[in-house]
Structure formats: C-alpha cells, structure tokens
A and B are shown apart, each in its own frame.
Chain A
Amino acid sequence: MLQSKSFVKKTKQGRLVKVVREHYLRDDIYCGALSCTSCDTSAARLSPPDSASIIIVDTNVVLNQIDLLENPGIDNVVVLFVVLEEVKNKNLAVYNRLKSLCSNSARKFFVFSNEHHRDTYVKEMVGESPNDRNDRAIRVAARWYQSHLGGQANVLLITNDKENRRKAVEEGLSAETVESYVRSLGRPDLLDLVALPNSQDLNMADVEDLRPSKRKLVYIEHKPISEITTGLVRGIFHQGKLRVNRYNPFEAYVGSESIGDEIVIYGRSNMNRAFDGDTVAVELLSQEQWQEAKSSIVADDDEDEEEDVHLVPNSADDAPRNSDPAQIASGALNPVSSRPSGRVVGIIKRNWHSYCGSLEPMPMPAGNGGIAHALFVSKDRRIPKIRIQTRQLGNLLDKRIIVAVDSWDCLSRYPSGHYVRTIGEIGDRDTESEVVLIENDINSRPFSAQVLACLPPLPWTFSPEDLANPNRQDLRHVRVFSVDPPGCKDIDDALHCTPLPNGNFEVGVHIADVTNFVHPGTSLDEEAAQRGTSVYLVEKRIDMLPKPLTEDICSLRSDVERLAFSVLWEMTPSADIISTRYTKSVIKSCAALSYVEAQARMDDSRLMDSLTTDLRNLNSLAKIMRQRRLERGALTLASAEVKFQIDTETHDPLDIGMYQIREANQMIEEFMLAANVSVAEKILSHFPLCSLLRRHPSPTKEMLEPLLRTAAAVGLDLDVSSSKALANSLDHAVGDDPYFNKLIRILATRCMTQAVYFCSGDLSRSEFYHYGLATPLYTHFTSPIRRYADVIVHRLLAAALGISTLPPVFQDGPQLTSIADNLNYRHRNAQMASRASVELHTLIYFRKRPTDTEARIVKIRANGFIVFVPKFGIEGPVYLMRRGEKNGEWMVDEVHQKVTKPGTNITYAVLQTVKIHMEVVEPQPNRPKLELTLL
C-alpha cells in the first residue's frame, strides 16, 4: 500500500518548497512476540512471563529514563519506530544507547516499525501538532498489539504524559507512569534509577520548602530559543562550545567563531548552569565589567576547591592553564585582560551524561520514608555538585557511584540527577581503577562472542600455506631478536642486523603482522577501531585486541615462527640508508631480551657471540642516527616517568622510582623511528590523499611563555625560534647541579602539545611536520598490537606494495578523518588513564609511608609555591600560609619568581631545592589526599 507524505520545507535560500516523499506501508511486519501464532517468530524477542506484560514506552520515557531501561530488571519492551525517530532527533547519545540495547541479544527489546505497518500508520489530522500525532501513533500501535496478541499477553503503555495516559485509558488500554510501574515490580533498587520528573512537579516543591532560603532565583532564566536565534543572527549573542578549565572549575572558555576568539566566563553565575561541553549562547560583558567578573570569582569561591598533588604533566595538554587563582587575586599584575569576558544566556545543546564520584558526607536524616537528598561530588572537578534523591543513603556514603543529570532549574544552586549504579568502595584499588577507566571513557569489558569468533582457530601454529603466499618472504634463517621492557608479553617489534659482504649492513625491523588476522569490516576490526589503543594501568593492561592475538599469535616471541611485516634497509656503517624494502615475512626470533639484558650483553666485553655482535652493530648505527637526528633539530625532551614495584599478591605498590632509560632503549627507539619515517614516505607517495600520518605542531610563543619566564628568573636565555634553536639552547642550559638541565627539559616538555594523527588529505604538506622529532613526515607503524593507527598504516602499506587491495573505508575522506579523531581521543584518554592510575598508586604507596624528601620549586604562587618531586615524579602545592590568610609576612616577587620573608633572609626562588614532608591526610572522611609540607 502506498501513502505519500508531503510537507513544506524551507531551503537554504529561504524559499519554501513542497516536498513529496513516498511512504510504503507493509503487511509483512511482525509483532516480535515468541508466543504469537500468526507472525513469523524467527526474529522475535519478546517472551513475557505469565504475570508480566509487554511494555510500550513513549519518547519521553526513553529520553529521561534510559538508565532505568538499561537495567536488566526491565525487559520485554517494544520500542516503536516513531519513538526511535523522535529520540534520534532529540538526543543522539540516548539514541545510540537505545540502539545498542535493541541490538543486544541478551535483552528482550523489540523494534516495531509501526510507521510502515499497514494497520498502525496514522496520518496527521488537520490541526494536530506533530507531538499529538506521534502520541496517537503510539496509542494506535499499543491498541494493535493488544488486539493482535489477544489474551496471550498484557500490553502496558508507559508514559509520564498525563494527557496521553488519560486518552489511552479512555481507549481501553492499560497505561501507567514510570514510577508506578517500577513500584509494581517490587524492586526498590530500581526506584533509585527513576529520573525525577521536572522540578515544577509537586515532588520537588517539598524539597524547596525545606530550604526556604533557596527559593529565590539563583541563576538568571535562560532566554527562549527564538530570542537566542535572533540574537545570534544580529550578533548580540555568540555561539560556541563551553570548555571548563580543568584546574579551575569557575573559569570557562567559549570558542566563538563570530568574534574569532575565546570568550572567558568567570564564575558559576555567569556560566549560568552550563556544563562542560554544552553548546551555549554567550552575551559579551562590557569592557569595564571584564575585570569585575574576574575578581568576583574569588567571592564565588565558597566551595573548598584546592589544587591536589598530581603527576608531572607530560605536555601542554595535561598542564594547567597559566592563569592561576593567585594571579587573579592580585589583579593589579595584569591590568585589563585582553580577552573578552561574557556570560551564558542560553543553552543550545546539553552535553549531559553520567558522572563518576561520591556523595558528600552527611548525617543520616531521620524519617522521610527512607528517602534522602544528598549532594554528589564528581571526581571530575569541572562538574558541579549534583543533588540526588536516594533510598539507600547509608549504603552509598562510602561508595563510588555513577550519577546522571536530569535537570537544573534556576531556583536551585545545583543540578538534580539520579543514581545510576555503584562501582565499589571509595579508596579500594579496584574501585578507583575502574573509576579511572570510566572517567576516561575506556571500554574494559571483555570481548564479545562475535569479536572472539573472528579469531583464527586456536592453538594457532604457522602453516606452510602461509609460506606458499608469493608475497611472504621466508626470513626464518635470519637471526632476529626482540628487546622490550621486562615481562612484556605483547612483543610487536623485532630486529636483525646482518653484515653484508660489501661491508654494509642489512638491518631489518620486523613488526607483528596483525592485519593478517584482523580483516577490515569484521567485528574484531570494528572493536579494535573503537578501542583505538591498549591502555596500560599500573597493575593491569586493557587490550585493544583479544588476549590470544595480543600475547600469542601476533606476539613475536622467541623460538616460534611468527608472521611479520618487515622493513629492510641496506645501511652503510655510517648509517646511510642505501635501499629500503618492505615485505611480509615469516620470522623466528632467537631471543626475547629485556632492555637490561640487552644492555648487559653490550657492556660485557667478554661476550663475543653473534647475537651480541649484532646488538653492538645496531647500537653503533643507532648512535649515529640519533646524532644526526639531533643535529637536524630533534628535541630530547625529558619526562619524569616513574615505575612501581607491585606486590604480586596484594597488587599494592612496594616501591616507586624513576624509570631508567638505557642505551638499549634509545637503540630500539631509533630504529622504530626510522621504520616509521620510511613507511610514512612510502604510503604517502602511493596514497597522497588518504594516508594516516602523525604530526606534531610547533608550539606557539604563548605556550612557551611559562618556560621562558622561569628561565629568565634563573638568568637563562632560551632561543625558541625553531626546534633546532631550542634544542641548542637546551643543550647549553647547564647549571651548577647535574639535575638542572633535566629540570629545564622537563619544563620544556610540558609546554609542548601532543602529536596527533591526521588524514593526509585534510592538511597541506607543510603542516605534516613533526616538531619534536624534526622530521617532515611521521606515522605509526611499529606497534599494531596495541595501537589501531598502526593497523591502518599496515593496510596502507600492504596496498601500496600491491599485496592487498585498499579497504573501501580509505575512499571515504570524512570517515577517515573521524577515525583519526577517534584515535586521537582514545590515545589521549589512554594517557590520562595511565597518569591517573599512577597518581592513584602513588597515593596508596604513601598512605603507609610518610616520607621526607627533596623537591624543586617550579613555580611561585601568592600563598606558597609548586614543587616538583623528582624521585616520585609528582608535583603539588606547598603552602607558606594558611588558606584565607592574605600574604601576610611573605613578599612575592613574580618577576624574579621569588618569595621572601621581610626582615629575615629566608627566600625561596624558582628551581631551588627544598626539603619537604609528604604524607597522606584525610581532611574529610573517605577523601584521602597527599599533602606536602615544608620542613
């Protein structure tokens, strides 16, 4: 049957066009109930037990109660197509969650295409709004289900819309609200998951009554959407994404295209209920108000938000923005900020999701039917406290929980939300590790059955058929070995170095041939693309590929035949590359060395065996290559990486120390860099538009500012005009003590941004440059087991060699860009998670061990200074005076980065060594933190 849909659409030019679309109605859509006798039940999902009913939900139920629907306690749900479409238009995040619910075979969710069914299609009536029409469509579908299933099952319509419920009951349907339905299930734990209806409802009014002082408007009303759109058009308002400063939740930035600059927003009242990531409309404040807004932040600062001790940042992305509260407090320092400031007038799109954290400690309230109102504090400092209602307060107080936000109205200081689930006890290592993973959006679930089905049959062994492939070269006779950190199980690179008769060397880098097992388009590939990278936490590793691949099939272990993708160079003894060759190969590694072992072999002059000779040859080549790279202007940056010794039983950290970098590490690094560069050149020459490369943008003057200021304070002049100049001046920056140079390098490192993946078609050639390595081209080829980028590069290289065809995804530019974006996002999250994990273990380590140690001052503040503890790789604030005291007896000299106590000769200057005491304190129960005090 054919229906035509016609509607009027406005074109971009503003003309009105009538659009007519066909709409086919069918009689072959099935109801999805297993017990149905008249329908095809091959795809059926619904099988309600006798007493239960099939439930049909409306759009608002899905939008607001997705957490409830995701709970396995709710099942046998019919999702109508009209609901699906409405959810898609209103909230894409919820739509994706609903989609995965519906496609999850463990859950009984069924999508019914009511819009295409002959009997359930409804045509819009004259004068009927689209909303009413959709509500009617839902009721018609519910009625169809009722009559179709007859007495076999009850059909229950769940809607919170009073009008819809009334009409449904009139039409002879059974309809209920979410709350009454959940109540009827007799599962009190589910009740906490029910999101509260809007705060205008009676329920909420009680709460407000309890706190009469809060009845007044806390925030200014948001402007209606129509006013915002006209304001945006007329240029009064500016649209942009709100980004809250990670280190100061009272300061946010809105990148606005209309004024081409970031608008700064100070204070919660100016932020006007916007969350990090929301798309907002901003009104600029007048210039006189800029300063005012800035200073008001201090008064607003009634929540106790202090900077914590944290790991030393590795790049500018991890480091705090250089506008610390100290500067703001002493506003005289920077007269009028050049940056415009503004306030949020409306929110165009919310970016609410669920947050991880814990409840603010509070006494158990008496009575109230067990329902308590509590404040939730997110671990992410950018998120304000969230008010929730719970029936299990006693249970939750010492737990890490996940909370979702429902609404925030202008009468209440905090947004209100609802409890989603408990992770575990606060302070427990497993719980906190999981929090780290959730916060960084890392998927640590086990691999699904579909993904595991893509693995080759186990146990996998090398078969002669692999050799029969003419593209695969047999390199089993070559003396290949690998050098990795001790205990490494996912070995993805191995090397060989054979002297040639003409005096040159054949050097080979062999990389695990992951793409031989991970084929494009399989669910294994999709999962890996989604995960993007393996994540290394202190006590565990979250793999990108399933364990059999990671630790066995692909891992280039010793004495077994493994498939590899090899880059083979002929090099002169002075490390000039004469020729480069790429091939798929079979190798048999003869030794899996650790860095320590490799170093020991090279250093032991008694050893003269062939393996050791290979190592020495490689090392001498690597030294030359490294020297050349440094001459080109590559930066040797330093990071303060720490390493834990973990107790094998309790998994608690036993010892903590700096990670030592040996010559062997640098040797391996050098060849990996060379392989990556060679591969980058090859794939770019074949696929100039769709190669995946990695670039490192040059830091701007602004970013290097803190480094220059510190350097100037100690009388050092750094030339930052180019990476070569910077490398040179870093080399010359030697002070009286041996650690000085490293310290300066660490400070330089944190000024750089991180390198990013990109698709070569998106940028011009000059932007491909890798600043840190000083190479015009770079990519990632050498770790396909733990990075998806390398998998892509392997496919590109194989296609460039004509071994395989290029998967269709590479022809789709936008999709390739989105893959690169996802990789950058995952990569960054993985790093953040590793750092957070180290921070967590540092805390656990110091819990039982208060320590005195040496530290270096890296920044002077109004009320103290920030110190860096080289031994443990952490930095944190040391306060010279108590909070709230104005800089009484101490004089701060910002220019020379110095604090002095007048009358005495006690001064503290930047980069000076101080003795500090480190101890874990618990200012609030269940909130341990590391405190640094001056000795």
Chain B
Amino acid sequence: MEFVNPLTGFRLDGRRPNEMRHIRGEIGVVANADGSAMFEMGNTKVIAAVYGPREVQNKSQQLSNQALVQCEYSMANFSTGDRMRRPKGDRRSTEISLVIRQSLEASVLTHLMPRSQIDIFVQVLQADGGTRSACINAATMALADAGIPMCDLVTSCSAGYLCTTPLLDLNYVEDSAGGPDVTVGLLAKMDKVTLLQMDAKLPMDIFENVMQLAIEGCKAVAQYIHEVLLENTKQLESRRGK
C-alpha cells in the first residue's frame, strides 16, 4: 500500500512525511486532582490526572529516600471504533503503564519527596495511533500542573518507516501497516532520551534517521507544552492580581 503517494509526496491524510498532526493541550481539566491535563494529537485524545505528593497508602511500599511514583494507564471502552469491553490490567496496559512511569520518573526529582507517593492516571478517550506518546505528554503537563518538581519536561513522539520514507507521528492506519514504529521520550532541554522503543527490525543507518525525526518531533511538542504552561502561569499570575 502506498502510505506516501509517490507522485505528490503526501501521506494518506494530507501530511508531508516530516509533519506532525495537530497538537493541543489543556491544563486543569479535572478539578478534583492535584494536577491534570488533556492532550490531543490529531484524533488521539488522552486525559491525565496526578495526585500527590501524598502519604504512601500501602506502607510496605514506602521508600525512605525517595518518592514512590505509580502510574495507571487505561483505555476507555469508547476510545476505538469497535467499542470493545476491555479487561483492566491486561498485558498491553500493564506494559504501557510501566513505560510511562519509567520515562517520567527520570524527570521527577523524587529525592526531594521521601516517604511520599505520586499517582499518575492516564486514560485514552479516543485512540488514533500514538497513544503512548500522547499519554506521556499529557502526564508531563499534569505533573507540571500539580507543581511536582521536575528537572525538565519529558515529551514524546513516534516515528515510523514506511515506503522507504521516515514518517513522523504515525496515525492508526500507518501504525497498523506493521512497519517499524519508534517511540522516543526526550528530556527536551537536556537532550536526554528517557524512552526508546521499537518493535521491528530496521538497519542501523535508517534507524538513526527515524529516531532523529522522532527527536525533532519531541522537541516540537516540548516547545508547544512550554507555551501552554507559560500561558497558564501568566493567567495564575493575573488572577493573583499582581
């Protein structure tokens, strides 16, 4: 199948290979939570809520020198076309929960909050490829909203390789083509990679190109999140009346 039209150079949805989908982020969407955010990448829409730092509920898990970070990923039953009823805690969501937790833990300054716990809940409201990346981005924003100390923002973006072209930010159709899908999580300012996943084989030189493309994507996302956060801070500032 032609995922990139050889004559026009456009992808199926009209993007160029190095273009991302529209992204949109919003902070403070769940009033109950300490911090929350909604993040959209095209038709992929996820919501994240952060609770904490708070007292550790299960004392046996308590860490004396750092905070405990927990993450729960779930997909709403209505998030995909077929509205399937999904069991909770299946392999895939356990894996994604772990991935999100690990890549975010790299930026949270956990040693500042010993004997406490931070809970991150992410839920996919609408899935159209790249849910992993969208979840990380939403969780980062929610953590920032909750005022949890972090050394940098972790942002994520995926890139694939189809029709001998590296493609940025695969949507569901491109994702299900079965080609390689590289998801990168990046500490944008420090230029450090916190997450790198790929479930296919790719020659080394091509892989480097694809990964570089995903990194560019992460940086673009970071830029956008910065703007959103800055705007949010300005509003808070004006509300305080200064």
Contact = CB atoms under 8 A, between A and B. Distances in A.
Interface of A: 2, 4, 11, 15, 17-26, 81, 84, 99, 102-103, 111, 113, 115-116, 521, 805, 807-808, 811
A23 B13 contact: yes
B81 A18 contact: yes
Interface string B180-223: 00000000000000000000011110100000000000000000
Contacts of A11: 82
29 contacts: A2-B22, A11-B82, A17-B82, A18-B81, A20-B128, A21-B13, A21-B171, A22-B21, A22-B42, A22-B43, A22-B171, A23-B13, A25-B14, A81-B5, A81-B8, A84-B5, A84-B7, A99-B6, A99-B7, A102-B7, A103-B7, A111-B7, A111-B8, A113-B5, A113-B10, A807-B203, A808-B203, A808-B206, A811-B201
Contacts of A81: 5, 8
B112 interface: no
A4 B128 CA distance: 13
Nearest to B161: A808
B3 to A, nearest CB: 13
Counting from the closest, the 3 A-B pairs by CB-CB distance are: A24-B14, A116-B14, A111-B7
A4 B42 CA distance: 10
B82 A15 contact: yes
B11 to A, nearest CB: 9
A521 B202 CA distance: 15
A73 to B, nearest CB: 22
A625 B230 CA distance: 82
Given A15-B82, A20-B128, A116-B10, 5 more contacts: A18-B81, A21-B171, A22-B42, A113-B5, A113-B8
B92 interface: no
Contacts of B128: 20, 22
Interface string B34-59: 00000000110000000000000000
A22 B203 contact: no
Contact of A24 (B13, B164, B203): B13
B197 to A, nearest CB: 19
B173 interface: yes
Contacts of A521: 164
B15 interface: yes
B82 A23 contact: no
Interface size grouping (class) on chain B? 20 to 34
B10 A17 contact: no
A17 B171 CA distance: 18
A689 to B, nearest CB: 12
B43 A4 contact: yes
Interface in B11-32: 12-15, 21-22
Contacts of B8: 81, 111, 113, 116
A23 B14 contact: yes
A2 B128 CA distance: 15
Contacts of A26: 14
Contacts of A805: 203-204
Given A99-B7, A113-B10, A19 B42 contact: no
A22 B20 CA distance: 12
B76 to A, nearest CB: 15
Interface in B159-187: 164, 171, 173
A21 B12 CA distance: 10
Contacts of B6: 99, 103
A113 B10 CA distance: 9
A21 B176 CA distance: 14
A256 B8 CA distance: 40
Contact of A115 (B14, B21, B42, B171): B14
A407 to B, nearest CB: 29
A807 B201 CA distance: 12
Contacts of B201: 811
Contacts of A24: 13-15
A116 B43 CA distance: 18
A675 B146 CA distance: 70
Nearest to B12: A21
Interface string B65-94: 000000000000000011000000000000
Contacts of A84: 5, 7
Interface in B132-170: 164
Interface centre among B7, B22, B42, B82 (most CB of A within 10 A): B7
Contacts of B22: 2
A811 B7 CA distance: 26
Contacts of B15: 24
A75 to B, nearest CB: 17
A678 to B, nearest CB: 28
A20 B10 contact: no
Contacts of A111: 7-8
B174 to A, nearest CB: 11
Given A99-B6, A102-B7, A21 B173 contact: yes
Contact of B81 (A4, A19, A23, A113): A19
A805 B207 CA distance: 14
Contacts of B202: 808
Nearest to B15: A24
Nearest to B43: A22
Contacts of B10: 113, 116
A924 to B, nearest CB: 47
Q: Determine which residue in A24, A102, A113, A808 has the highest number of CB atoms from chain B within 10 A of its CB, and name it.
A: A24
A805 B203 CA distance: 9
Interface in B83-123: none
A116 B81 CA distance: 25
A113 B6 CA distance: 12
B43 to A, nearest CB: 6
Contacts of B12: 21
B199 to A, nearest CB: 13
A23 B12 CA distance: 8
Contacts of B7: 84, 99, 102-103, 111
